[in-house]
Amino acid sequence: MFKSAFVLAALAVAAPVLAQDAPQSFNGPYVGVQGGWQQDRQTLDVTRGGLVTTGKQNKDGFAYGGQVGYDARIGSNIVLGAEVALTGRTGTAPLANGGGLELKQGRTIAATARLGFLLGPDSLIYGRGGYANARYTLRDANTNISENRDGYTVGIGYEQIVARNVSARVEYNYARFGNDNLPALAADLGASNAKLKYGRNAVTAGLNFRF
């Protein structure tokens, strides 16, 4: 009897401590990795003698990278977060109507905020948006143009706690990196103007390790 009472008393004292040791889901810093499908979409408008020729290209590749971020619980069901991600992508492709020009997608840096709603204690649906900067290289035998392009990205996703301090997520993101007038390319193609438009779709999965 005495032993049973002692055990119950010990549990009563330890319960608050154990509750504090259990981390609250989606609250605090994290680092992670991600990978998946990325489709870069380019449209090249070439003007010759007042006539505009348009070439479009969708190029698929494998995206890979990592992220670091911070989540804060706002009330009982809302999560507000911030994240910085660095990703790369495989593949180089000929540019449509580019006269043999190749386009390579390089690294992308994104700084975004996200707002999420808890579907349960360990599951989160969210939207994200913010700034993105991508590196592109255009090249052929006579041309080698590299530039970092500013743009924006928006997306939606779902994240689930799968183990203590570990969560898995899947998300879709769309990005735009504006339009670019390329006089050097126009001269190389014998045209008066060349304008390249940049867009992107991506579906990625990732793991976050939380602290």
Q: Return the pLDDT at 210.
A: 97
Q: Return the pLDDT at 80.
A: 98
Phi then psi dihedrals of residue 141, to 5 deg? -65, -30
* The one-letter amino acid at 136: Y
Pair 56, 42: CB distance under 8 Å: yes
Is residue 12 classed as helix, strand or coil in its secondary structure? helix
Q: Whose CA is closest to 91, among 118, 48, 61?
A: 61
Q: Return the pLDDT at 19.
A: 40
CA 64 – CA 2 distance, rounded (Å) = 60
For domain 25-210, is the CATH number 1.20.1250.20? Answer: no
Q: Return the pLDDT at 105.
A: 84
Strand 28-48 and strand 166-181: pairing? Answer: unpaired
CA 149 – CA 152 distance, rounded (Å) = 10
What's the token pair of residue 171? 């998300």
Residue 105 CA to its chain's centroid (Å):
14
Q: Return the pLDDT at 9.
A: 41
Please list the pLDDT of the chain residue by residue as tens digits (211 residues): 434 443 334 444 444 434 445 568 999 999 999 999 999 888 888 898 888 888 777 889 999 999 999 999 998 899 999 999 999 998 766 665 555 677 788 899 999 999 999 999 999 999 999 999 999 887 776 767 788 999 999 999 999 999 999 999 999 999 999 988 878 778 877 888 888 888 999 999 999 999 9
Q: Return the pLDDT at 39.
A: 92
CA 123 – CA 120 distance, rounded (Å) = 5
Q: Return the pLDDT at 99.
A: 58
CA 140 – CA 101 distance, rounded (Å) = 5
The ranges assigned to domains in the chain are 25-210
